[in-house]
């Protein structure tokens, strides 16, 4: 069974534990600037939104790469960058409609979320379950459950 990162911005507090976990897993330092997941703060609206690669099946980044450095991991479904093959041309960063592939000045390669090989550090570090790693076929389950709970609750209240 493949799993996907599922993000619920309503639960995010903007603490950046995910960014620290990601950069530590991938770079060995606690460094939000080098995180593959980013939390955006919309100050006037009072909202925090974590955002990262959604691992497209027909991935623009993979199609655009001229040296085939981006391949799909069949176990996790993640599009992974091979550092040995990547030439740092950045074409994938242009191709990605979501901006989730980025260049790393220090290594001369691109970086993107690879689901940590199937055990994403961001989801483990998140204190509020704003980021979870769930069945890829049922990322909507929590939302469905929440709406299901509201459905016909007028009748439930009347009979209570």
Q: Where does this chain bind another protein (CB under 8 A)?
A: 13-17, 20-21, 23-24, 27-34, 43-48, 124-125, 127-128
Least separation in angstroms between CB 31 and another protein: 3
Of the pair 47, 143, the CB lying nearest another protein is at 47
Nearer to another protein by Cβ, of 79 and 113: the residue is 113
Q: How far apart are alpha carbons 138 and 121 in whole angstroms? A: 21
DSSP 138: G
**How far is CA 54 from each of CA 25, 36, 145, 156, rounded to the nearest angstrom?**
19, 12, 22, 38
With CA atoms as reference, report the closest residue to 37 among 132, 122, 128, 96.
Answer: 122
Indicate the residue among 85 and 108 with the shorter CB distance to another protein.
108
Residue 14 CB, nearest approach to another protein (Å): 5
């Amino acid at each position: 069974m493949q799993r996907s990162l599922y993000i619920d911005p309503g639960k995010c507090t903007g603490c950046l534990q995910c960014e620290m976990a990601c950069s530590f897993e991938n770079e060995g330092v606690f460094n939000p600037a080098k995180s593959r997941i980013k939390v955006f703060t919309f100050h006037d609206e009072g909202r925090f939104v974590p955002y990262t690669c959604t691992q497209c099946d027909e991935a623009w980044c993979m199609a655009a790469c001229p040296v085939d450095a981006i391949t799909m991991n069949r176990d996790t479904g993640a599009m992974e960058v091979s550092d040995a093959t990547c030439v740092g041309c950045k074409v994938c960063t242009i191709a990605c409609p979501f901006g989730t592939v980025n260049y790393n000045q220090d290594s001369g390669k691109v970086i993107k979320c690879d689901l940590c090989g199937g055990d994403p550090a961001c989801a483990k570090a998140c204190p509020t379950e704003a980021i979870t790693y769930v069945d890829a076929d049922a990322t909507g389950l929590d939302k469905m459950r929440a709406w299901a709970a509201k459905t016909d609750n007028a009748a439930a209240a009347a009979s209570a």
